[in-house]
Structure 1
């Protein structure tokens, strides 16, 4: 699969098997994230890979509470790759978003399902979320949650792409 084909065929996955993702695949996805462009090459984002079911489930509950729900916002995906970025870097949200995009596309390239789950900012502003970061030696005050890249083996085929809108791009020749 070439890059353009991967970009055109990747879809958000919202149904996963319970099969764990091989650690080497997680590492490849993370590596793709580390090669995302960042403002002035500052590399403000960090990635926290969560494959421990207990911690994954705890983060899921925090995320669900943020949106006032009891459902699993991670759709059963066994791995969550959390992207955070340094708040003191002006481009941190953009930098983290590019990391998320690279990881979503890499997961697809590797035959895995993935989806961007929001509310990472709110998750890591809670005492529980802050404790997860601080347990890893990460200064919770210095970082803002950008997104949760959930990853796993899709339990159903990806849907077809919606037609692209006609006014997506404008040209000035």
Structure 2
């Protein structure tokens, strides 16, 4: 798939089939995240991969989007490892690039995913559930699975309205 076509056709998927995601596809998604750019190549992202139904259920109780979390087949909690951080802004941007890489790879593999941010208000509980140290700061939870919906086309602003300087 052409990369621009992949970018343009990716949509947030919030309903998933009850079909297990093969481990080899999950590894490709994590690998795509691993290859995101980062300042000084510090690779500040860390992943918690949750397929266990009971843990997914606990996570679902920590967000207004419990239906999405509970119906997903895999959750990837993405953390910023503050122990390796050298510049917060650059490191947060790197984690965002990592998440985008994983969402694009999931789409290219025929899977659906959604980047959940509202769950960040429960970051302390998530670290506690997973037994993680405080130097791991939750940045997002990605819900993954085979799509059980076909989202509408998305509109974007005209490029001429977004470019503020060109010379």
When the two structures are superposed, what TM-score results if normalisation uses the length of structure 2?
0.87
What CA distance in whole angstroms lies between the structure 1 residues aligned with 2:146 and 2:65? 23
Computed over aligned residues only, the root mean square deviation of the Cα atoms, in angstroms, reads 1.9
Which of residues 62, 68, 71 in structure 2 aligns to 1:76?
Answer: 71
Q: CA deviation at 1:160?
A: 1.1
1:57 aligns with 2:72: no
Structure 2: gaps of 5 or more residues: none
What CA distance in whole angstroms lies between the structure 2 residues aligned with 1:121 and 1:92? 17
1:131 aligns with 2:128: yes
Q: Is the 8 A contact 2:48 2:78 kept in 1?
A: yes
Residue by residue over 1:52-90, the C-alpha shift from the partner in whole angstroms, topping out at 9 and shown as x without a partner, is 11111111212x2xxxx4842426111111100123512
Query: For residue 95 of structure 1, what is the aligned residue in structure 2?
Result: 94
The 3 A distance-change label for structure 1 pair 81 and 106 is same
When the two structures are superposed, what TM-score results if normalisation uses the length of structure 1?
0.85
What CA distance in whole angstroms lies between the structure 2 residues aligned with 1:84 and 1:28? 19
Q: CA deviation at 1:40?
A: 1.5
What CA distance in whole angstroms lies between the structure 2 residues aligned with 1:105 and 1:75? 22
| Runs of 4+ more than 4 Å apart | none
Structure 1: gaps of 5 or more residues: none
Total equivalences in the alignment: 162
What CA distance in whole angstroms lies between the structure 1 residues aligned with 2:74 and 2:65? 19
Residue by residue over 1:131-161, the C-alpha shift from the partner in whole angstroms, topping out at 9 and shown as x without a partner, is 3332xxx42x111100011111111223212
1:160 aligns with 2:153: yes
